[in-house]
Amino acid sequence: MSDVGAPGDGGSIARRVAASLRSRGYYRVLKRLHAELRPATYLEIGIRKGDSLALASASDACIGVDPQPLLSRSLSASCRVFEETSDDFFAGHDVRDVLGGREVDLAFIDGMHLFEFVLRDLANVERYAAPGTLAILHDCLPVDAVSASRQRTTRLWTGDVWKCVFVLLEHRPDLTLTVIDVGPSGLLMVEGLDPANRVLSERAAAIQETFEPLEYEYFARDRARVDGLAGTVDGVVARVCAARGRRTR
Give contact residues for ligand SAM (rule: CB under 6 A): 1-2, 45-48, 51-52, 65-68, 85-86, 110-112, 117
Contacts of 148 (CB under 8 A, 6+ apart): 142, 158, 159, 160, 162, 216, 219
Q: Shortest gap between Cβ of 18 and ligand SAM (angstroms)? A: 18
φ, ψ dihedrals at 163, nearest 5°: -65, -25
Nearer to ligand SAM, 48 or 244 (CB): 48
Closer to ligand SAM by CB, 45 or 189: give it. Answer: 45
Element (H, E) at 79: strand 79-82
- The nearest distance, CB 248 to ligand SAM, in angstroms, is 26
Min dist. Cβ of residue 73 to ligand SAM (A): 9
Task: Decide: 161 and 140 in contact? Cβ < 8 Å.
Answer: yes
Q: What angle do CA 236, 116, 190 make, to 5 degrees?
A: 10
Is the CB of 148 or the CB of 244 nearer to ligand SAM?
A: 148
Q: Is there a cis peptide before residue 184, judged by omega within 30 degrees of 0?
A: yes
**172 Cβ contact partners less than 8 Å away, ≥ 6 residues apart:** 197, 199, 200
CB 103, min distance to ligand SAM, A: 20
Q: Which is nearer to ligand SAM, 105 or 110 (CB)?
A: 110
Beta-bridge partners for 210? none
In the complex, residue closest to ligand SAM by CB: 46
Nearer to ligand SAM by Cβ, of 86 and 133: the residue is 86
In b/e form, how buried is each residue of 39-51, taking b as 16+ CB within 10 angstroms?
Answer: bbbbbbbbbbebe
Smallest distance, ligand SAM to C-beta of residue 87, A: 6
Residues 63/124, Cβ–Cβ less than 8 Å: no
Nearer to ligand SAM, 81 or 169 (CB): 81
Measured in degrees and rounded to the nearest 5, phi and psi for residue 112 equal: -70, 130
CB of 66 to ligand SAM, least distance (A): 4
